[in-house]
Amino acid sequence: MDFDLNDEQKMLQETVTRFVAETYDFQKREHALKTTEGWSREAYAGLAEMGLLALPFAEEDGGFGGGGVEMMIVMEALGRGLMVEPYFATVVLAGGVLRHGASAEQREAIVPGLVVGERICALAHNEAGLPRHTLEARATATPSGDGWLLDGRKIAVIHGQSADTLIVSARTADGLSLFLIDAATQGVTIEPAQGYDGVPVATVMLAGVSVAADALIGQVGEGATILQRVFEEATVALVAEGVGAMSETFDVTVDYLKTRQQFGVAIGSFQALQHRAVDMLMQLELARSMAILAALSLDTDADQRSRNISAAKAQIGRSGRMIAQEAVQMHGAIGITAEYKVGHAFKRLTAIDALLGDRDYHLARLVEMRGVYPAAA
């Protein structure tokens, strides 16, 4: 595989990295967390103006047709800034469902508003009492006249409280199906909350929600197939975000070692701390290489793609935990305070590990698949 970026990808990397560094410092994040929605409309509009919200969508839908590498570049930059805006929820998760399952008419009605930042979309799939990584649902969708009647309760809906449009998974007689629902539809109740990493989440309750036949995404019973592909792409995006958060954590820690004085010298001059910093760097580079592999794997066959993505997510879980813990240890008590970036990065890396399968889950999958390259075993 060629791990070098082409000229356009290098330009994208430079542009988005500079944008985040110049417009979204830690104080901006703190302010966003204290707002009613828990994120900044201004910052999100900036992403839209740069065309980043349109990145993965096809050109005929008003996008740029970007692939896994382009998404990796953007998510790494957002991870460096610890941005809490609904890019992952709207563009990666909900946007992925639209790209892989929605009809041309559905995309035409939703994507234009999405790419300019005027429409927020959220995927409502997780439910209490079910495994975190399941493709099943207890929420139900029953035929009603020319449409459907939906009932159920969804939890941990990322940016659900700000969503204009919800994509809801529900069980039908033919299997899991996906439906587009206006968040203002009668029978929809949304309870906002905040995740431990600061990202807004919500509980979405559906009580006799009536939708038309054209609310169905794809075919009846096709929901699990669509979600499986979307979750693979979303995992790759999370891996890249994790690399960004780790990179920022490492840089902040190294700067701290250079400036913090003890016994009249910078603590970075202590050999023991230098060795620990090197160990952090090694884990960071391991994670970065796996993120690149995962992004490139989106264009490979389904079996190898699944193996590579699980291997990357497992490495991110390991590297993220090690780097975050070392950063907190070397900062001392300040490392876990709400006023310091390292503590926020620790929480976000923990959430990234848990989302879409933690390290243990993906290691177990690799065991079931007999490793990353079973033919070579």
- What pLDDT was estimated at residue 227? 98
Q: Which candidate, 292, 358, 279, places its Cα nearest to that of 322?
A: 279
CATH superfamily of 224-376: Butyryl-CoA Dehydrogenase, subunit A, domain 3 (1.20.140.10)
pLDDT digits (tens, 9 = 90+) for 122-176: 999 999 998 878 999 999 999 999 999 999 999 999 999 999 999 999 999 999 9
**Rounded to whole angstroms, how far apart are CA atoms 68 and 298?**
6
Cβ atoms < 10 Å from Cβ of 274: 13
**Rounded to whole angstroms, how far apart are CA atoms 116 and 129?**
37
With beta carbons less than 8 A apart as the criterion, state whether 342 and 331 touch: yes
Would you put residue 161 in left (φ > 0), alpha (ψ -120 to 50) or beta? alpha
- What pLDDT was estimated at residue 375? 67
Residue located via tokens 């302010």: 31
- CB-based burial of residue 3 (10 Å sphere; 0-12 exposed, 13-18 middle, 19+ buried)? exposed
pLDDT digits (tens, 9 = 90+) for 42-66: 999 999 999 999 999 999 999 999 9
CATH superfamily of 123-221: Butyryl-CoA Dehydrogenase, subunit A, domain 2 (2.40.110.10)
**Rounded to whole angstroms, how far apart are CA atoms 238 and 213?**
33
- What pLDDT was estimated at residue 263? 86
What would be the CATH architecture of the domain defined by 7-119?
A: Orthogonal Bundle (1.10)
pTM as predicted: 0.95
**Rounded to whole angstroms, how far apart are CA atoms 262 and 99?**
55
Residues of the chain with pLDDT under 50: none
Q: Where in the chain are the domains?
A: 7-119, 123-221, 224-376
Phi, psi of 151 (to 5 degrees): -140, 140
**Rounded to whole angstroms, how far apart are CA atoms 285 and 11?**
22
Q: Please name the residues in contact with 154: beta carbons below 8 A apart, sequence gap of 6 or more.
A: 124, 125, 126, 127, 139, 160, 168, 203, 204, 205, 206
Q: What DSSP string runs through 77-143? A: HHHHHT--STHIIIIIIIHHHHHHH--HHHHHHHHHHHHTTS--EEEE---TTS-TT-S----EEEE
- What pLDDT was estimated at residue 102? 98
**Rounded to whole angstroms, how far apart are CA atoms 329 and 219?**
52
- CB-based burial of residue 173 (10 Å sphere; 0-12 exposed, 13-18 middle, 19+ buried)? exposed
With beta carbons less than 8 A apart as the criterion, state whether 183 and 190 touch: yes
